[in-house]
Amino acid sequence: MIIEVDNLVKSFGKNIVLKDVSFHVNQGEVVCIIGPSGSGKSTLLRCLNRLEEAQGGSIKVFGTDVLKLKDMNAFRENIGMVFQMFNLFPNYTVMQNITLAPMQLGKMNKKEAEEKGMALLKLVGLEDKRDVFPSTLSGGQKQRIAIARALEMNPQIMLFDEPTSALDPEMVGEVLSVMKKLALEGMTMVIVTHEMGFAKEVADRVIFMGDGVIIEEGPPAELFNNPQHERTQKFLKSVLERV
């Protein structure tokens, strides 16, 4: 197991966002987390690389206890994260966005970083954008660059926090297809998403969260076609029947 989360508790002041959450992810597995807004999906994801500090329980990634870790920076290099709002650095070009971290951290020299950067730009289909600034890109292009930026660090796990929620509908497909490519290459991925079609097709396992707990989890075929819990049934009904 590459990620093990046990009895995780997270609160913002008096508001308890995660109540005793436990789940695990195997090497090469694609796990989609679905559920209504405010159910704690994003918070759970952000606890994994400690963008949020949990109050209780334990998180083990590659066997290391994340909550007790001293050097977060070296640890985070192994976990790529993609955000809803892309968060590209507006003061750098596309290639500089991609190569900034590995060059600063002494992982690669400029030549190596740019070669790998070009390969990744090819993967996301944006080789021609290497020297432009992010402000000239569409949302879908920005998100694909953000994925390339995260991959440049050679992460072993990729976390996606609602990667298509801020996109215009016609751009969702291009981002999902890049993510699908990654999944097929065997990347371990944890994805918070509202794209049920994608979860159904690509996920190995789907976790349904509500009110800070995992209500149900299972392979997509089971969870989508035969949800056991009433909350899951209601949620899926309201999401899937939307016209």
Considering only 13, 63, 90, 106, the residue that binds another protein (CB under 8 A) is 90
Beta carbon of residue 133, minimum distance to another protein (angstroms, whole number): 5
Q: Which of 5, 10, 83, 214 binds another protein (CB under 8 A)?
A: 83
How far apart are CB 181 and another protein at their closest, in Å? 21
Of 19, 123, 133, 173, the one binding another protein by CB under 8 A? 133
Q: Binder to another protein among 11, 55, 58, 87 (CB under 8 A)?
A: 87
Rounded CA separation 141/145 (Å):
6
Number of residues that bind another protein (CB under 8 A): 29
Return the number of the residue (155 or 220) whose C-beta is nearest another protein. 155
Q: Is 123 in the site for another protein (CB under 8 A)?
A: no
- As given in the structure block, the two tokens for residue 89 are 């650095």
Q: Is 130 in the site for another protein (CB under 8 A)?
A: no
CA distance 65 to 170: 41
Distance CA(233)–CA(228), nearest Å, equals 7
Look up residue 169 and give its two tokens: 């509908």
Burial class, 118, CB count within 10 angstroms (exposed 0-12 / middle 13-18 / buried 19+): middle
Q: Of the ranges 4-12, 56-64, 142-150, 184-192, which one interacts with another protein (CB under 8 A)? A: 142-150
Alpha helices by DSSP H, listed for 94-229, are 94-104, 110-123, 139-151, 169-184, 196-202, 220-225
Among 30, 32, 47, 88, binds another protein (CB under 8 A): 88
Phi, psi torsion values for 111, nearest 5 degrees: -65, -50
Contact 50, 78 (CB under 8 A): no
The whole-angstrom separation of Cα 224 and Cα 236 is 7
Closest CB 91 distance from another protein, rounded Å: 5
Which region, judged by CB under 8 A, interacts with another protein, from 134-142, 173-181, 190-198, 209-217?
A: 134-142
Find the helix or strand (DSSP H, E) in which 190 lies.
strand 188-192
Partners of 184 in the β-ladder: none
Length of the chain: 243
51 binds another protein (CB under 8 A): yes
Nearer to another protein, 37 or 104 (CB): 104
By the criterion CB under 8 A, which residues form the site for another protein?
A: 49, 51, 72-74, 76-77, 79-81, 83, 85, 87-91, 100-101, 104-105, 133-136, 146, 149-150, 153
